Chain A
Amino acid sequence: EPEVTQTPSHQVTQMGQEVILRCVPISNHLYFYWYRQILGQKVEFLVSFYNNEISEKSEIFDDQFSVERPDGSNFTLKIRSTKLEDSAMYFCASRGTSVNTGELFFGEGSRLTVL
């Protein structure tokens, strides 16, 4: 069964460092997302991406964050200068082509620890 894959599974970084989280969405999907979940809290929407551009972003997704689809398969989330409060599990998700299909397929997540 096709799945969304994310790397790395866990990254530890120092405050102020740049981090890139990588995702390979399901191959025929066109809608891509990043969500995050701080330990013990809700899953929060960060950004959606369609047709090679951001279609929607939350207030969390400030200038420190960026997304990119550098080739036909990868979808990346970059945090330019990490803060302690960026420590969370980051989930990539993708959605099929039908506008009536709301189901998201999530990856297993990348746990980011900022020290």
Chain B
Amino acid sequence: SQQGEEDPQALSIQEGENATMNCSYKTSINNLQWYRQNSGRGLVHLILIRSNEREKHSGRLRVTLDTSKKSSSLLITASRAADTASYFCATGFQGGSEKLVFGKGTKLTVNP
């Protein structure tokens, strides 16, 4: 079954540094998405990258996708304390399936 798995599980950095999170999955995908979740809150969509795309940018976010390695990375540049949250990759919409399959997430702490 397709499954997004992020690493590291936890990441602690200083404000201003870059944060890189990785995601691996097992099967072919239609797209891969990254979501953010503040503690105890809902998930917020950050960025979607399609299987025919290799890189995408949105503000301070940069996502790459390597379908040959079945992996993706999320880079947050110039991190801020407000970026502290859990970040999840989700794979989905393959073969007509409606479901997104989420990974376990990376808990990012940005220290001021």
A interface residues, Cβ below 8 angstroms from B: 4, 31, 33, 35, 41-45, 48, 50, 55-56, 58, 89, 91, 93, 102-109
Residue B41 interfacial (CB < 8 Å) = yes
Asked if A48 and B98 sit within 8 Å, CB to CB, the answer is yes
Asked if A102 and B99 sit within 8 Å, CB to CB, the answer is no
A50 to B96, alpha carbons, bound, how many Å? 13
Asked if B88 and A43 sit within 8 Å, CB to CB, the answer is yes
How many A-B contacts are there with CB distance less than 8 Å?
A: 55
Instruction: Say whether chain A's binding surface is mostly helix, strand, loop, or mixed.
Output: strand
A105 to B56, alpha carbons, bound, how many Å? 20
Instruction: With A43-B43, A91-B42, A109-B41 as known contacts, state yes or no: A102 contacts B102, CB within 8 Å.
Output: no
The listed residue (B42, B48, B98) touching A103 by CB distance below 8 A is B48
Asked if B31 and A106 sit within 8 Å, CB to CB, the answer is no
Asked if B45 and A104 sit within 8 Å, CB to CB, the answer is yes
